[in-house]
């Protein structure tokens, strides 16, 4: 409305001026052309002035912002205090990268890289920790660029095995405590087995033997778990409800020859969620 009113007032003033000067310039040979030119120039200047008050123009068809594709994976760490005495229990955190990763190998590699990098400062403050911190030696046995691991899909070591992934560690890993070995194994296994294409994980140390296999038998290459079998005994509903002496065994695998200490620690930790669901 402001632009139209200003335009009306300008046109009105120009025509009033024209009529007032017409009697004076009636006999001038170029009076008519002079008046028309003045009127046109006045109208043009008025429209330019009005347009300048509107502000910058806005495109009628703004460009839509395209969503940025990303990849999110779960990474598993030990967590204080609930996993301190249950080394095969790990807790997930999320990692996201602004890159679309369409293959299982790319996503699994990214997840494992993030796991070896360890928890963030904020995650550590909330109780997450990694037994891999400071455990890697400096020399890499893998060819090519310096790295911590290679992933071999559909292989158990050098043997073809569909659905099995072999993690070949490129550097020596020093296992500080008796429970750190199974913690490391649980972190790697759980981080990789979130991907449905991976059914089993084999972890080899830097010289090709089974990682954290204290027996030295390399049983992981034959399809067996490493460590030492122990039984832990719990009460069970309803069998033990009225018979307090009735207890039932569940299986655990001790990572070292300290089987008694491991078994008591497992007893104090209690049944797993699956075992609890079974009574």
Q: How many domains does the chain have?
A: 2
Same domain, yes or no: 94 and 157: yes
Structure tokens at 196: 């449905």
Residues forming beta bridges with residue 164, ordered by sequence position? 200
| pLDDT, position 126 | 97
Task: Tell whether 104 is covered by a domain.
Answer: yes
Average pLDDT, stretch 115-133? 97
Q: How far does Cα 70 stand from its chain's mean position?
A: 8
User: Distance between CA 40 and CA 37 in Å, rounded?
Assistant: 5
Domain C-terminal end among 224, 245, 262: 224
- Per residue in 77-101, pLDDT (tens digit) is 999 999 998 888 899 999 999 999 9
Same domain, yes or no: 115 and 250: no
Q: What is the mean pLDDT of the chain?
A: 81
| pLDDT, position 59 | 47
- Per residue in 254-265, pLDDT (tens digit) is 766 678 888 899
User: Distance between CA 59 and CA 99 in Å, rounded?
Assistant: 31
The answer to whether residue 22 scores a pLDDT higher than 70 is no
The answer to whether residue 110 scores a pLDDT higher than 70 is yes
Task: Tell whether 1 is covered by a domain.
Answer: no
Range of the domain at 264: 229-277
| pLDDT, position 278 | 87
| pLDDT, position 146 | 75
Same domain, yes or no: 95 and 172: yes
| pLDDT, position 141 | 87
| pLDDT, position 139 | 85
Task: Tell whether 55 is covered by a domain.
Answer: no
CA nearest 273: which of 41, 88, 121? 88
Average pLDDT, stretch 129-153? 90
Domain C-terminal end among 195, 224, 253: 224
Same domain, yes or no: 206 and 249: no
């Amino acid at each position: 409305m402001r632009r139209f009113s200003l335009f009306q007032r300008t046109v009105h003033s120009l025509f009033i001026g024209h009529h007032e000067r017409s009697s004076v310039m009636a006999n001038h040979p170029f009076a008519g052309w002079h008046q028309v030119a003045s009127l046109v120039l006045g109208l043009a200047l008025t429209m330019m002035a009005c347009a300048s008050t509107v502000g910058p123009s806005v495109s009628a068809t703004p460009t839509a912002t395209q969503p940025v594709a990303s990849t999110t994976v779960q990474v598993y760490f030990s967590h204080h205090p609930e996993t301190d005495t249950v080394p095969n229990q790990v807790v997930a955190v999320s990692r996201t990268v602004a890159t679309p990763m369409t293959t299982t190998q790319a996503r699994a590699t990214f997840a494992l890289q993030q796991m070896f990098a360890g928890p963030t400062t904020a995650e550590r403050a909330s109780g997450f920790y990694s037994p891999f911190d400071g455990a890697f030696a400096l020399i890499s046995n893998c060819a090519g660029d310096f790295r911590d691991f290679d992933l071999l899909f559909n292989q158990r070591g050098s043997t073809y095995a569909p659905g099995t992934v072999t993690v070949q560690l490129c550097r020596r890993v020093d296992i500080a405590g008796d429970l750190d070995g199974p913690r490391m194994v649980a972190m790697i296994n759980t981080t990789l087995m979130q991907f449905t294409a991976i059914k089993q994980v084999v972890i080899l140390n830097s010289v090709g033997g089974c990682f954290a296999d204290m027996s030295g038998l390399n049983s992981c290459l034959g399809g067996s778990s490493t460590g030492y079998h122990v039984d832990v005994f719990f009460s069970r509903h309803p069998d033990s409800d009225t018979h307090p002496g009735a207890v039932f065994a569940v299986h655990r695998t001790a990572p070292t020859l300290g089987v008694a200490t491991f078994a008591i620690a497992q007893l104090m930790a209690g049944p797993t969620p699956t075992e609890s669901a079974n009574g």
